[in-house]
A and B are shown apart, each in its own frame.
Chain A
Amino acid sequence: MSKARQSTIRASLVHLALVAYTLVALFPVFLTLVNSFKSKQAIFSQPLRLPTPSTFSLVGYETVMKQGDFLTYFQNSTIVTVVSIFLVLLFGAMAAFALAEYRFRGNTLMGLYLAIGIMIPIRLGTVALLQGMVAAGLVNTLTALILVYTAQGLPLAVFILSEFMRTVSDDLKNAGRIDGLSEYAIFFRLVLPLVRPAMATVAVFTMIPIWNDLWFPLILAPSESTKTVTLGAQLFIGQFVINWNAVLSALSLAIFPVLILYVIFSRQLIRGITSGAVK
């Protein structure tokens, strides 16, 4: 009896702590979303109230739609993110397959070489990277960003995917070889479908830093036609610092895509982490 009561008390203390931190984690996001739907007066006089019919207003969103080229920015971010992830997954899986499947001289060395980039950030090479992009005429193009993000994502992708590819059964691949499949067919038709869960994990890990990056868009592609959402929102906020409606709406618009992607991928992410993808 007393033991049961004790465990109830313990459980409620645990929930109390977790709810407290949930409030800390969600409060700023909640505050932004709620106030983006209010009139300017209401934002200041009652920042913590939910919008009521009298204080509800979409004026901020209207300003954002009229002023900023947010549609272009969204398009740029989407192109850069999707193409980079595709290239990271394709090139990363191919290299991981070569490292996991074949024994050749320099295999371990190649693995170590590709792993350097997991720990050393690509940002440190920015000085020469900008010079190289200028020389290649790639400044202010989305190609420059795609190349950088592909290179940035490859090391971790190769590392995680090669771990997974080692677990694919040899019997299956040898059966394929006996049936006369080429090495390419074995990779694309037999192995790739089997490591799909690992690919999803890699996609999530690759996607978040690319979508949110500010450094490379700022340095390599700051022109109006190549701005990403992150950079666009930053500059927009700088211009409209006094227009709180517009700023809060711009922030809310920038939160939504990430939220949607997270909802889609979260189960995969958790499974990927708990199954040891990043051990």
Chain B
Amino acid sequence: MTDLASEQGTEAAQRRPRRWHILVFLAPAVIVYTAVMILPLAETLRQSFFNVVDGRSVFVGFSNFATLFGDPRWSADFWNALRNNFIFFLIHMAVQNPIGIALAALLSLPGLRFAAFYRTAFFLPTLLSFVIVGFIWKLILSPIWGVAPWMLDLVGLKAMFGPWLGKSGSALIVVSLVSVWQFIGIPMMLIYAALLNIPEEVIEAAEIDGITGWGQFFKIKLPLVLPAIGIISILTFVGNFNAFDLVYTMQGALAGPDKATDILGTFLYRTFFGFQLQLGDPSMGATIATIMFLIILTGVCIYLFGIQRRIRRYQF
């Protein structure tokens, strides 16, 4: 089939050797994409092997990486940011995706009333900008305004309240949970769509066999939406290791308190762009960006070659 088609293709190409319109159709997208995305990315990777010595850019091999991993001025911040980023990701995987799947499962129940309303409500936070989300939650959690303590008081837990965003032990968890609150709409929507695409016959067959309720969800539906769960996992991974905005709006560029909420994105921003007394350092910035690139690339490769191929897909 493909052979035949490609033969026809070459035949057509021989008949009309120059099909300029293909070039015209492709050129604008390829030019913008290459010039603004691919080349800067490649150039950034290249610059991670260079540093400024005596005002000139010199090839330094892996010494930028050695500085980042080993030099105490850099390595403490780097390892801290990397560890925080992994915690950030794990909290998303443990909270955001299960709740998203649960909400989607409830929404996709047949004959549910007000489904459109619920769906809109759950998706709304995803549409809001980080600035809004960060600040609203900062206000709610602020001891000055007292909304959070008042609400805890309702359930008799007022004693538990503390200035969470200001404590290094809890700040990262709180920021992660706010991010979960914001992005829960994405797994919810994708799983919801996957659940709706399960054919009626499959569900009916399960019901005839007496599989209903919880059993039906775990034995029939969940295995069928595994590919969608794979997609939301890799989307979460890429999004989390590229995150910056929420931490910046909630905790500032210094990612306080005492860098407890510092993740790779904020670390990159401070290093490359400079902040307050610290001067920007493009070479080290490029080095950090390269590390982030490698982490994301590793994640994507594990997904594409390790997970996606092993997930059994069902053709309906």
> Which residues of A are in contact with B by a Cβ distance under 8 Å?
14-15, 17-18, 21-22, 24-26, 28-29, 31-32, 43-44, 47-48, 87, 90-92, 94-95, 97-99, 102-105, 110, 114, 116-117, 119-129, 131-132, 147-148, 150-152, 154-155, 158, 182-184, 187, 208, 211-215, 219, 229-230, 233-234, 237, 244, 247-248, 251, 254-255, 258-259, 262, 266, 270, 273-274, 276, 278-279
Across the interface, do B29 and A95 meet the contact criterion of CB distance under 8 Å?
yes
Chain B contact residues: helix, strand, loop or mixed:
helix
Task: Return A152 CB to nearest CB of chain B, in Å.
Answer: 7
User: In the bound complex, do residue B130 and residue A14 qualify as a contact, i.e. CB atoms below 8 Å apart?
Assistant: no
Known pairs A24-B181, A211-B129, A234-B249; list 9 more (Cβ under 8 Å): A21-B103, A22-B118, A91-B28, A104-B13, A117-B38, A151-B36, A155-B33, A215-B244, A278-B193
Q: Is B273 among interface residues, defined by CB-CB distance under 8 A?
A: yes
B73–chain A nearest beta-carbon distance, Å: 20
Instruction: Check if B118 sits within 8 Å of A128, measured CB to CB.
Output: no
Which of B181, B231, B292 is close to A124, meaning CB atoms less than 8 Å apart?
Answer: B292
B residues within 8 A CB of A87? 32
Residues of A within 8 A of B131 (CB): 214, 230, 233-234, 237, 251, 254
Chain A CB within 8 A of B22 CB:
yes
B289 touches A125 (CB 8 A): yes
How many Å lie between the Cα of A255 and that of B242 in the bound state?
24
Partner of B26, one of A17, A98, A276: A98
B121 touches A26 (CB 8 A): yes
Within 8 A of A (CB), among B1-40: 5-6, 8-9, 12-13, 19, 21-22, 24-26, 28-30, 32-33, 35-40
A31 and B136 within 8 A (CB): yes
Q: In the bound complex, do residue A44 and residue B145 qualify as a contact, i.e. CB atoms below 8 Å apart?
A: yes
Interface footprint category on B:
35 or more
Of B28, B137, B192, most buried by chain A (CB within 10 Å of CB) is B28
Q: How far is the CA of A115 from the CA of B139 in the complex (A)?
A: 40
Q: Can you pick out 7 interface pairs between chain A and chain B where the beta carbons lie within 8 Å of each other?
A: A18-B106, A95-B25, A102-B19, A128-B40, A158-B29, A270-B189, A279-B228
A129 / chain B contacts, CB cutoff of 8 Å = 36, 40, 44
Rounded to whole angstroms, the CA-CA distance of A184 and B22 in the bound complex is 10
- Listed from nearest, the 6 A-B pairs whose CB atoms lie closest are A103-B9, A125-B40, A128-B43, A95-B29, A151-B36, A212-B129
